[in-house]
Amino acid sequence: MTESDPFRVIFVCTGNICRSPMAEVVFRDIAALQGLGDRIVSTSAGTGDWHVGEQADRRTLEALARRGYDGSAHRARQFTYDDFARNDLVVALDRTHERILRQWARDESEEGKVTLLLSFEHPDTALEHQGVLDVPDPYYADAPVFDEVLGMIESASHGLFRQLEPAIRPPRP
């Protein structure tokens, strides 16, 4: 990554229709609100191929809209080996995804890009979630669970942004 290249983050869940699209949209919005939308590229993918080409789950889109986000442009896709090379950071939404991604990594450099989203939660929020490391999959749940999951993703995404911001923000003249 050169100084002019954007920092690339990919969020990964199971089917790329619930959690990872939420994280992609939220993180992109955080960067834009901080004036760094041109310095960060936020994408998402799934470990599975069940939903490739589909929009995010209707309940995901509704949860995002209730909080002022627009996820309508999202189309699900599967994570590929090339995603390791294309991205600076690979963010797993739960430990199962993290384990799969580490197994798919072809070397230590790729494996070193893999991290867990909730590891970036603010300590106060982490205490509230009692050390939970996995963003729960809301797929088989109703709207309130999607809202709760989105709240977890927002909190951890703010923490992730705070960690990355010093390296991403261009130096002042």
Q: What is the pLDDT of residues 21-32, one digit of tens each?
A: 999 999 999 999
Residue 165 has pLDDT above 70, yes or no: yes
Q: How many percent of the chain have pLDDT more than 70?
A: 92
Residue 151 lies in a domain: yes
Q: How many percent of the chain have pLDDT more than 90?
A: 85
Identify which of 113, 46, 41, 117 has the alpha carbon closest to the alpha carbon of residue 77: 46
Residue 119 lies in a domain: yes
How far is Cα 164 from Cα 16, in angstroms, rounded to an integer? 23
Q: Which of 8, 67, 102, 137 is catalytic?
A: 137
Residue 126 has pLDDT above 50, yes or no: no
Q: What is the pLDDT of residues 54-91, one digit of tens each?
A: 999 999 999 999 999 999 999 999 999 999 999 999 99
How many structural domains compose the chain? 1
Residue 2 lies in a domain: no
Does the annotation mark 95 as catalytic? no
Residue 78 lies in a domain: yes
Residue 111 has pLDDT above 70, yes or no: yes
Q: Which of 19, 28, 39, 59 is catalytic?
A: 19
Does the annotation mark 18 as catalytic? no
Residue 173 lies in a domain: no
Q: For residue 22, give the amino acid letter.
A: M
**Domain CATH code at residue 83:** 3.40.50.2300
Q: Across residues 5-20, what is the average pLDDT? A: 97
Q: Which of 13, 18, 83, 134 is catalytic?
A: 13
Query: What residues make up the domain containing 37?
Result: 7-168
Residue 1 lies in a domain: no
Residue 135 lies in a domain: yes
Residue 58, pLDDT score: 97
